[in-house]
Amino acid sequence: MAEEFVRTIAGRDITFRPAKPAQMTAFYRVRNRQIQELEKLRGAESTTETLVAIHDLYERFEQNELNLFTSLLVNKDDMDFLDDVMVRGELTLADLVGSLFGNTEEAPDDVEPAPKQPKKAAKQGKLPKTANVRRVQK
């Protein structure tokens, strides 16, 4: 079984249990559905109803994040502490979730690992036959 881990948030050490794959899968499924709904609402005519629907969607979005976060807390009284910190405006929900799952706003760039040079060729200072480099004719 995966071990509990500690994160320091707003100066306090808080213990979490790792999220289960099913929990994370369910969370991302809801999130994807909400993003689809949001796209649909943004494409629709801007009326009071659509604005209210977008607002409700954001609220549900945040509520789900909070539910997931809370379910991973080992000591429930830590939530009271975090509530106080959030009420004082020192921490937002996004900060809280980001501190646990990392900031997922920007995905990392794809990186293609460079092919390794064969040892022998590298030693002799020669390029490997397969290297995609044109030799300069003297």
Residues from 71 through 90 that contact another protein (CB under 8 A): 71
Q: Tell whether residue 18 is a contact of another protein (CB under 8 A).
A: no
Rounded CA separation 59/122 (Å): 59
**Toward another protein, which CB reaches closer, 31 or 50?**
31
The one segment of 20-28, 76-84, 107-115, 122-130 that binds another protein by CB under 8 A: 20-28
The one segment of 21-29, 76-84, 103-111, 129-137 that binds another protein by CB under 8 A: 21-29
Residue 96 · residue 86 · CB < 8 Å:
yes
Q: Tell whether residue 22 is a contact of another protein (CB under 8 A).
A: yes
Q: Tell whether residue 20 is a contact of another protein (CB under 8 A).
A: yes
**Toward another protein, which CB reaches closer, 24 or 44?**
24
Rounded CA separation 50/18 (Å): 37
Residues from 24 through 53 that contact another protein (CB under 8 A): 24-27, 29-30, 33
Rounded CA separation 60/50 (Å): 15
The set of residues, in sequence order, having a beta carbon less than 8 Å from that of 56 and lying 6+ positions away, is: none
**Toward another protein, which CB reaches closer, 19 or 91?**
19
From the list 64, 69, 60, 67, the residue with the least C-alpha distance to 37 is 60
Rounded CA separation 117/4 (Å): 42
SS3 label, residue 28? helix
The one segment of 23-31, 39-47, 49-57, 114-122 that binds another protein by CB under 8 A: 23-31
